[in-house]
Amino acid sequence: MTSTDDAVEAASWRELLGPRHLGSALVLAGGVLVGAINIYLASSLLPTAVADIGGAGFYAWNMTFYLVAMVIATMLVSRVLARWGNVGAYLMGFGVFVAGSLACAVSPAMPVLLAGRGVQGLGAGLLSGLGFAVIHSALPRRLWTRGNALMSAMYGVGNFAGPALGGLFAQFGSWRLAFVAMAVIGAVCAGIVPRVVPRGERGGGRTPVPVVSLVLVTAATVAVSLAGVLPGTVAMAAGVAVALLLVGGFVAHERRSGRRVFPRTTYTAGSALKWVYLTIGLLTFGVAVETFVPLFAQRLGGLPPVTAGLLGAAVSLGWSLTQLGSASAAGGRAVRRLCVLGPLVLALGFLAQGLLLRDAAPGWLMLVWAPVLVVAGSGIGLAYPHLSVAAMSSTSDPAEGRQAAAAIATVTSLSIAFGTAVAGVLLNAGGASMLTSARYVLFGFALVCAVGAVTARAANRRAGAETR
């Protein structure tokens, strides 16, 4: 057996990005990246698009259509893989994404644009889930942590690049070209798939689709997405409550059903997997703060839109940079500590940011905001890649392993949707005072994300019990 140090040395970034694995790594990361970019890309383009094709009344549905479709697709990844194999599944994902992007690019009216966004979301969700599921066969186990770190970093890069690219194209009035550019990127990635992605094994193509689970999670995603745009705090809170009830119904159904989205291990007594998923969800829940940071920066600090938008991406920047380093952590004790530390750092970062908020904030104080938000985001990066590997390694059964890996994308997408809605509720609860609203959001998120330390400790205890 190799020592821990030898394993770490062998599992280097140089090996992952070397000639043998570079192609696979690029496809895995690229699929996650195009999905992440398009979460916020259209938000920057919509004002220009509305001026061109109308449909201002449908403005708020842009994110809803995309996220709902994305969550649905992530839940079907393991079945698409079983039916079509790695290469076929990836070609399908990129093909659907390209078709949706082109539909958006040629949209003559807002309903067509929204339909295109839905198709885009299906492709993006499939690609995001495939990235985590295909890593089983595309990379050796010693590279799983770094592969997961690279892919999850793409969420952070996408959250940064999406608004920036959208704003750039909108600045020149070329909103349609932004979608064309995304279609070209998707087509290029699809072109290299057959040459670099292992085909994998097919089988289980007749596995029944978990219709009831899909309906419940879709309804929960719709409810929570609508909650984020409903007028009034009471209506928004009611939307979130309905979504939580639907998620509860989903869990109850999955526990007793033979047609599951999550692997059977999730619901086994004493299993660590459910705690791993909860911790991932609580970490990515915090990403939703980024949607509102630009608003706080403009209203409280008087920053111009471009600068405020860049500040809003500080959480994702911290997430992306930190996990590229945290992936090098070796040894069970170090990894367990990072999984608990991550949610605490995220929560403390939001708490500190809330304490730094001021009306008419001076320039020097605004400069402090950026590193504080980067530190907050670093909490996600500390834990996310290790939690992803924990989910992938939760079972020795290959089919369940792919299902467990694909579910990481489902949890991430669903948590971002929930976080956005809850942030909207907290924002409205502050009333006319932007300072109060901003503090409600940041302090509220600090409390929620801190719970992740508790779930991470539970995951560590269960995992320790399983190995004894």
Whether residue 251 lies inside any domain: the answer is yes
Q: CA distances (Å), 48 to each of 158, 173, 330, in order? A: 21, 7, 48
Which of 44, 30, 43 is closest to 306 using CA atoms? Answer: 44
Question: Of the residues 224, 239, 259, which one is the last residue of a structural domain?
Answer: 259
Residue 204 sits in the same domain as residue 231: no
Same domain, 219 and 355: no
Q: What integer is the mean pLDDT of 244-259?
A: 88
Contact 143, 21 (CB under 8 A): yes
> Does any domain span residue 5?
no
Asked whether residue 163 falls in the same domain as residue 233, the answer is no
Confidence of residue 270 (pLDDT cuts 50, 70, 90): confident
Considering only 6-10, 151-155, 432-436, which range has the smallest mean pLDDT? 6-10
Q: Which pLDDT does position 242 carry in this prediction?
A: 93
- Confirm whether 12 is domain-assigned: no
Residue scoring higher pLDDT (202 or 198): 198
For residue 317, the model assigns a pLDDT of 86
Dihedral sign for Cα 221, 225, 228, 232, please. negative
Residue 252 has pLDDT above 70, yes or no: yes
| Highest mean pLDDT pick, 17-26, 105-114, 395-404 | 105-114
Task: Provide the pLDDT for residue 1.
Answer: 33
pLDDT confidence of residue 88: 92
If you compute the radius of gyration of the chain from its CA atoms, what whole number of angstroms results?
A: 21
Is the pLDDT at 314 greater than 80? The verdict is: yes
- When mean pLDDT is compared over 33-42, 139-148, 150-159, 238-247, the highest value belongs to 238-247
Same domain, 425 and 326: yes
What value, to the nearest 5°, has the Cα angle with vertex 284 and ends 278 and 290?
155
Residues 450-459 have pLDDT tens digits of 999 999 999 9
Least confident of 1-5, 266-270, 317-321, 460-464: 1-5
Same-domain status, 125 and 66: yes
Candidate from 84-93, 124-133, 145-154 with smallest mean pLDDT: 145-154
According to the model, what pLDDT value does residue 126 have? Answer: 93
**Position 276 pLDDT exceeds 50:** yes
Cβ contacts of residue 131 below 8 Å, gap of 6+? 28, 29, 31, 32, 151, 154, 409
| Number of folded domains that form the chain | 3
pLDDT of amino acid 464: 64
Tell whether 321 and 383 lie within a shared domain.
yes
- Percent of the chain residues topping a pLDDT of 70: 94
Token representation of residue 273: 């997997």
Q: Is 34 a domain residue?
A: yes
Does the residue 311 lie in any domain? Answer: yes
What percent of the chain is predicted at pLDDT more than 90? 31
Q: Is residue 3 part of a domain?
A: no
pLDDT at residue 354 tops 60:
yes
Residue 9 has pLDDT above 60, yes or no: no
Claim to verify: residue 247 and residue 160 sit in the same structural domain: no
- Name which residue leads in pLDDT, 212 or 173: 212
Range of the domain at 90: 17-210
Domain C-terminal end among 191, 210, 229: 210
Look at residue 256 and tell me whether its pLDDT is greater than 90: no
Q: Is residue 322 part of a domain?
A: yes
The tens digit of pLDDT for each residue in 400-451 reads 777 888 888 889 888 888 888 888 888 888 888 999 999 999 999 999 999 9
Query: What is the rounded average pLDDT of the residues 352-367?
Result: 90
57 against 425, higher pLDDT: 425
Helix axes 211-227, 61-74, angle to 10 degrees: 160
In contact, 70 and 36? CB cutoff 8 Å? no
For the segment 24-53, the average pLDDT, to the nearest whole number, is: 83
Is pLDDT at 167 greater than 80 in this prediction?
no
Q: Is the domain of 108 the same as that of 158?
A: yes
Mean pLDDT of 186-205: 79
Q: What confidence tens digit (pLDDT) does each residue in 298-311 have?
A: 889 888 766 777 78
Look up the CATH number of the domain holding residue 459.
1.20.1250.20
Classify residue 45 by burial, with Cβ atoms within 10 Å: 0-12, 13-18, 19+. buried
Predicted confidence band of residue 344 (pLDDT cuts 50, 70, 90): very high
- Residue in 63, 22, 81 with CA at minimum distance from that of residue 207: 81
11 within domain boundaries: no
Residue 120 sits in the same domain as residue 237: no
Let me know whether 327 and 270 are in one domain: yes
Q: Report residue 60's pLDDT band, with 50, 70 and 90 as the boundaries.
A: low
pLDDT recorded at residue 64? 76
The reply to whether 31 and 78 lie within a common domain is: yes
Segment 8-19 shows an average pLDDT of 66
Query: What is the average pLDDT across 212-232?
Result: 82
For residues 236 and 305, membership in a common domain is answered with no
Q: Which residues contact 300 (CB under 8 A, 6 or more apart)?
A: 357, 358, 359, 360, 361, 434, 435, 438
The answer to whether residues 67 and 221 touch, using CB atoms and an 8 Å cutoff, is yes
pLDDT greater at residue 464 or residue 351 = 351
